Amino acid sequence: MHRRRLWMAGVALGLAVLMLAGAAAQLSYAQTGTEPQGPSEPIGVLSTPAPGSKNAVQPPAFDPGGVTLLDRAGAGTKNAAEVHQAAAPQIAGDSGSFMACGATGNANWTTTSTAWQVIRSCTATFPEAGVVFINATAGVALQDTAYEGRFGLSIDNAAAGIQSTSRWVNIYPDGGDGTDKSVAASLLIPVSAGTHTFYFLGTRYAGSGTVLAYDPALSVAYFPASATPVKTCGVSSSAVFTTTSNTFAAVQTCSLNVPGPGWVYVNATASAGLPYGGGPYEVRYHVAVDDNSLNTGWPDHWTNVYTDTGDGTDEALASSMLTHIVTGTHTFYFGAARYAGSGTVQLYDPALSVLYFPANSVVAKTCGSFEGSGDWQNSTNSYTTVRACMLEVPSRGFAIVDANASAGLTYGSSNWEGLFRWGVDDANGSDSFDRWADVYTDSGDGTDRVVAASGLIDVSAGPHTFYFVGRRYSGSGTVELIRPSLTVLVPTGRVFLPLVLK
C-alpha cells in the first residue's frame, strides 16, 4: 500500500490534466447511453521499453486505474493464498463425424517458472485427418506480487506453445485483492489421423509474482475431412496488427461458400499491448459477418491498454457469437479500431475461427444468445442472468460452451469487482467456470476489459437451459457487461468414450 500511494502521488499531476477531458467523455455517455468517444485514458509512469522484444521485458508496475475501494481478501476467499493444483477432469466423445476432448474443473493453477508449464491437457484419437478447433480460457489474478503471464496452446508438445496463440496478461496489486482479468486463446488448425495431446500452457513472462489461473478450461472439437455437412475456415498468425483508425479495420478475415442456410460460430482472440514508445489507447473490436463497418449490431468489445513502468499493460481479447446465415459465400471478420486515446492499437497473434453447421444438422445442435446493442447490469451480490439459451439434447453427451463480454463502467459509477460464470440448468451457474473482473474509474470512461469463460461439460438427454450469469463480488459500483454473448455446441450421435468428471 505504501509503495502504491507513492506511485499514485507521482502520477497525480498527469491524471489531473486529463480530468476535464474525462468529464466531457462521461457527459457524452450519460446523454447517449453508449460508450463515449472519449479522450486518452490516464497515463501511468512513463515507460521506455526496449525494442526487439514483444514490447519489453521489464517487470510491470501498478495498475493506473487508481486505488480501488474493494475489500481486502480474507482467508478462504478467491484471492487468498490457499492455492492448490488438482488433476484435470477429462471429457471425450464423438458423434461419428464430431469428436471432442477437454479438461476443466474447479481447481487453480500456479507457477513461477519462466519456462512453459502445462495448465490443462486432453488426449484423443482421430480416425482420419481433419481440423480441430481449440479454445482455452482462465481467470488470471494476483497471489503475491505483480507479474506478467504468458499463455498459449500446443499440440503434442508440452514444452513450447504455438507462437500464434501467445497471450500476455499483466496483473498488479491494488487497494483490494489485486487486478483480476480473463485470458483466452483459440486456434483452428489441420490435424492428422492418430492420437494427439492438446495443451493449454502458461509461464511467467516478467515480474516476480506467482502466476495464478482460476478454473482454467480447455476444449478441443474435431471435424474429419469427410464431414461434409460441417464447413470451417480460420486464420491465425504470428503477426502484429496495428491501427490508429477510429473505424474498423480487418485484423483477420476468412470466407466460406455454404450450400444452405445454417448457423455459424465465429470466434476471435488476440493479445493487446503497447507499441514501443507508444501512448495509452482503448481498442474496440468485434467479430462480424459480411460487414466490418461500425455500428452494425455485432457484439463489440472494448479494452484499455495503459503505460506503466514496464512495457505497458497487456490484455487478452476475446469475442464470439452464434448467428444465422443464408446460402452463398460469406466473409467473416475479426475487426478492430482505436476507440479512444492517442496511442497506436497493437494486437499480437490474432486468431479467427469459423464453424458452420447446416440448419437441422445431424452433426451438432446449437443454441446461442447475443444482442448487438444489449448491455447487462447488476448492483447486487446475487447472480442474475446475463444471457441464456435452451436446447433439446437428443442423447447423453457433451456441450462446448463459450461465454464472453466486455466489462465496463456505468456513468457515475464507482469501482467494482464482478464474478461471472456459466452453467447448465442452474441460474447461479457453476463454480467450475468462475471469472472475476476488476473495473476502475479513470480520467476517461473507466477501465474496460474482457470477460471470457469457455469449457466442455457433460449433459444428459433432454431439454436444458444454459446460463451465463454474473454478480457484484466487491466494491460499490454497478456491474456492467457490454455486448455479452453465449454460444453452445452439442454434438449428436453416439458417445465414443465414457464421460468422466474427476
pLDDT tens profile 76-134:
433 333 232 333 334 444 445 678 899 988 889 999 999 999 999 999 999 999 999 99
Tally of structural domains, the chain: 1
How far, in Å, CA of 444 to CA of 457, rounded? 40
Please report, as a single letter, which amino acid is at residue 194. Answer: G
How far, in Å, CA of 180 to CA of 452, rounded? 12
Examine residue 231 and state whether it is found in any structural domain, yes or no: yes
**Top-confidence residue, 425 or 4:** 425
Examine residue 206 and state whether it is found in any structural domain, yes or no: yes
The percent of the chain in helix, strand and coil, each rounded to the nearest 5, is 5, 50, 40
Residue 378 has which C-alpha cell?
447488476
Q: What are phi and psi of 11, to 5 degrees?
A: -110, 5
CA 146 to chain centre: 20
CA 45 to chain centre: 27
- The residue to which cell 489531473 is assigned: 16
How far, in Å, CA of 192 to CA of 196, rounded? 9
Radius of gyration of the chain (CA): 21
Three-state DSSP state, 158? coil
Would you put residue 162 in left (φ > 0), alpha (ψ -120 to 50) or beta?
Answer: beta
Examine residue 200 and state whether it is found in any structural domain, yes or no: yes
**Tell me, what's the pLDDT at 1?**
28
**Tell me, what's the pLDDT at 255?**
97
Examine residue 142 and state whether it is found in any structural domain, yes or no: yes
Residue 266 has which C-alpha cell?
465465429
C-alpha dihedral sign at 164, 85, 456, 223: positive
Examine residue 342 and state whether it is found in any structural domain, yes or no: yes
State the residue range of the domain holding 304. 90-491
Would you put residue 402 in left (φ > 0), alpha (ψ -120 to 50) or beta?
Answer: beta
Three-state DSSP state, 188? strand
Average pLDDT over residues 378-401: 91
C-alpha dihedral sign at 212, 80, 471, 421: positive
- For residue 109, the cross-strand partners are 213
pLDDT tens profile 278-317:
899 999 999 999 999 976 778 899 999 999 888 899 999 9
Examine residue 75 and state whether it is found in any structural domain, yes or no: no
- 345's CB contacts (< 8 A; 6+ apart) are 241, 242, 243, 244, 272, 281, 283, 336, 337, 338
Percent of the chain predicted with pLDDT > 70: 77
Q: What is the pTM of this model?
A: 0.82
Length of the chain in residues, anyone? 502
Percent of the chain predicted with pLDDT > 90: 61
Please report, as a single letter, which amino acid is at residue 184. Answer: A
How far, in Å, CA of 12 to CA of 126, rounded? 58
Q: How far is CA 502 from CA 91, 233, 295, 370, 459, in A?
A: 9, 34, 44, 32, 15
pLDDT tens profile 316-346:
999 999 999 999 999 999 999 999 999 999 9
**Top-confidence residue, 487 or 361:** 487
Q: How confident is the model at residue 210 (pLDDT cuts 50, 70, 90)?
A: very high
Closest CA to 364 of 324, 400, 415, 333: 400
Average pLDDT over residues 265-285: 94
Residue 491 has which C-alpha cell?
454434438
**Tell me, what's the pLDDT at 372?**
64
Examine residue 112 and state whether it is found in any structural domain, yes or no: yes
Average pLDDT of the chain, as a whole number:
80
The answer to whether 128 touches 174, Cβ cutoff 8 Å, is no
Residue 296 has which C-alpha cell?
452494425
Examine residue 369 and state whether it is found in any structural domain, yes or no: yes
pLDDT tens profile 229-244:
889 999 998 889 999 9
Closest CA to 347 of 407, 414, 398, 301: 301
pLDDT tens profile 13-60:
232 222 222 322 222 222 222 322 222 222 222 222 333 333 333 333
